[in-house]
Amino acid sequence: MRTQVGIIGAGPAGLLLSHLLHLRGVSSVVLERRSRAYVEGRVRAGVLEQGTVETLVEAGVGERLRREGLPHHGIELRYGGRGHRIAFEELVPGRTITVYGQQEVVKDLIAARLEAGGDVRFEVEDVALHDLDGEPYLTFGGERLACDVIAGCDGFHGVSRLSVPEGVLTFHERDYPFAWLGVLARVAPSSDELIYSRTERGFALHSMRTPEISRFYLQVPPDATAGEWPDERVWAELKARLETVPGFTLATGEILEKAVTPMRGFVTEPMQYGRLYLAGDAAHIVPPTGAKGLNLAVADVRVLTEALDRFFSTGSADLLDGYSAACLRRVWRAQHFSWWMTTLLHTFDSDDAYGRRLQLSYLDYVTSSRAAATTLAENYVGLP
Ligand code: APR
Ligand code: PHB
């Protein structure tokens, strides 16, 4: 078997890459370890930057996104007994974000790939990468797939990054001393906009998926488990951290899903080796406070598509050679923004009263200075 691009992983990165390459006439095979039902059902992030929406719409997979996605024109920062709106329409006119679940993006992409006769294989076992700096090929479940290029889109726990000889890549990592408990609930959102709430009890986020489904996150200890968070405890804590301004009541409902996500920043440099190119979570992770993970994956894939198109249509590898450098500028900006939002809003056990006053002072600055609020807004909606 032979293909032009062997893609490992059917997350947003791998599926979008396969679809965009198909539109440019480049063939690919996607190999995914999990079942289709598993990847379509996995609840993840949900904030799409305008550039991400435009990429999906231009690629012809934005129809349901346009119909069901919820455009947002601001977010609320809540602390010290007050809510403060960061108004995108005022600070970054014409730019918005859209709330649409990542697993909905994945469903739309899988449907598009299959409709176009794309080769997406689920439940593929033991994918291994070979001869990355020569004539690359993949093996899996007793089969062999020769590729001109391999795209490692297999997420943070994938096999691609680990297949590069030791010492070639540098890994930069920051672990945070807390995790997020993510909660999906069948209840109408209690607010039209996302609420990022900083309290002495820890951080809470009120997000949403549809007019009937809300999404919440709670800062929890790094070793917390979902089992320690029965539904009553989740609602009590969400209320304690969100009902902090006069007149706000949190509506409760049936909890559909609960999971703990570690918080870390991680960057691989460079994001390539030989004929292997890493994209999305395989190359970098951000703490979710800035809502950048999925958007960075889409940005990588845009750059990689251009580079591969050039390579296959002209034989020139110049864009491929510059792939990592072209991506890392945005990756590091997003790392900084995500770190900044995280430190602004969470409680750190190591913080003394002085540290907490600094944090509150900075929040006051961000919510009262137009320049500081614009910095937040333009990073949040996504830099060009
Ligand atoms: N072989 C085949 N597939 C694999 C392997 C493997 N050895 N290891 C992992 N995978 C698959 C996973 O099962 C998953 O479906 O690769 C896919 C990676 O998808 P994601 O983790 O979703 O990563 P990515 O596509 O880069 O998406 C970007 O943005 O919002 C963030 O973290 C969130 O997943 C999101 C990411
Ligand atoms: C989500 O809706 O899942 C979400 C929203 C904002 C974030 C992170 C996650 O910062």
| pLDDT score of 384 more than 90 | no
Annotated catalytic residues are 72, 196, 288, 292, 380
Q: How far is CA 236 from CA 49, 170, 227, in A?
A: 32, 43, 16
- Tokens standing for 379? 């990073």
> Of the candidates 83, 118, 117, which has an alpha carbon nearest to the alpha carbon of residue 10?
118
Average pLDDT for residues 95-119, to the nearest whole number? 97
Q: How confident is the model at residue 134 (pLDDT cuts 50, 70, 90)?
A: very high
Determine the Cα–Cα distance for residues 32 and 10; give it in Å rounded to an integer: 5
The CA 162 to ligand 2 mean position distance, Å, reads 29
Residue type, 185: A
Does any ligand 2 atom lie closer than 6 A to the CB of residue 341?
A: no
Percentage above 70 pLDDT, the chain: 100
Closest-lying ligand 1 atom to the alpha carbon of residue 295? 29
The pTM (predicted TM-score) of the whole model is: 0.97
Question: What is the per-residue pLDDT for 332?
Answer: 98
Average pLDDT for residues 273-300, to the nearest whole number? 98
The CA 329 to ligand 2 mean position distance, Å, reads 23
Between helix 370-381 and helix 323-345 the angle, nearest 10°, is 130
- How far from the centroid of its chain's Cα atoms is residue 260's Cα? 16
Residue identified by tokens 């900084």 is: 336
> Of the candidates 328, 331, 360, 323, which has an alpha carbon nearest to the alpha carbon of residue 343?
360
**Going by C-beta distance under 8 Å and a sequence separation of 6 or more, which residues neighbour residue 125?**
33, 140, 141
Residue identified by tokens 């593929």 is: 124
What is the dihedral angle through the alpha carbons of 9, 147, 163, 24, rounded to the nearest 10 degrees? -50
Q: What are phi and psi of 284, to 5 degrees?
A: -160, 150
The answer to whether the CB of 118 falls within 8 A of the CB of 29 is: no
Question: What is the per-residue pLDDT for 337?
Answer: 98
Residue-wise pLDDT tens digits, 45-95 = 999 999 999 999 999 999 999 999 999 999 999 999 999 999 999 999 999
| DSSP letters for 238-294 | HHHHH--STT------EEEEEEEEEEEEEEEESSEETTEEE-GGGTEE--GGG--HH
Closest-lying ligand 2 atom to the alpha carbon of residue 289? 10
The answer to whether the CB of 21 falls within 8 A of the CB of 28 is: yes
Question: What is the per-residue pLDDT for 166?
Answer: 96
Residue scoring higher pLDDT (45 or 197): 197
Q: Which ligand is nearest to the CA of 77?
A: 2
Closest-lying ligand 1 atom to the alpha carbon of residue 102? 30
Residue-wise pLDDT tens digits, 224-275 = 999 999 999 999 999 999 999 999 999 999 999 999 999 999 999 999 999 9
Closest-lying ligand 2 atom to the alpha carbon of residue 209? 2
| pLDDT score of 1 more than 90 | yes
Question: What is the per-residue pLDDT for 374?
Answer: 98
Q: How far is CA 80 from CA 172, 237, 308, 345, 359, in A?
A: 34, 17, 50, 12, 11
Average pLDDT for residues 307-321, to the nearest whole number? 98
Q: How confident is the model at residue 217 (pLDDT cuts 50, 70, 90)?
A: very high
Question: What is the per-residue pLDDT for 42?
Answer: 93
Q: Whose CA is nearest to atom 3 of ligand 2?
A: 45
The CA 209 to ligand 2 mean position distance, Å, reads 10
Query: H helices within the chain, ranges in order?
Result: 12-23, 36-41, 50-58, 63-68, 88-91, 102-115, 231-242, 293-314, 318-321, 323-345, 353-368, 370-381
Does any ligand 2 atom lie closer than 6 A to the CB of residue 215?
A: yes
Average pLDDT for residues 18-43, to the nearest whole number? 97
- Tokens standing for 284? 């970098």
- β-pairing verdict for 202-208 and 272-273: unpaired
| pLDDT score of 280 more than 90 | yes
Question: What is the per-residue pLDDT for 381?
Answer: 96
| pLDDT score of 16 more than 90 | yes
| pLDDT score of 356 more than 90 | yes
- Tokens standing for 98? 């859209």
Average pLDDT for residues 305-325, to the nearest whole number? 98
Does any ligand 1 atom lie closer than 6 A to the CB of residue 293?
A: yes
List, in sequence order, every residue forming a beta bridge with 194; answer none if it has no partner: 75
Question: What is the per-residue pLDDT for 38?
Answer: 98
Q: Which ligand is nearest to the CA of 341?
A: 2
- Tokens standing for 118? 């794309």
Determine the Cα–Cα distance for residues 348 and 221; give it in Å rounded to an integer: 10
Q: Which ligand is nearest to the CA of 290?
A: 2
Q: How confident is the model at residue 309 (pLDDT cuts 50, 70, 90)?
A: very high
Long-range Cβ contact pairs of 240-245 (< 8 A, separation 24 or more) = 240/199, 240/201, 241/197, 241/199, 241/201, 241/202, 241/203, 241/204, 242/78, 242/190, 242/195, 242/197, 242/204, 242/206, 244/78, 244/79, 244/81, 244/197, 244/199, 245/78, 245/81, 245/82, 245/83
Q: Whose CA is nearest to atom 6 of ligand 2?
A: 291
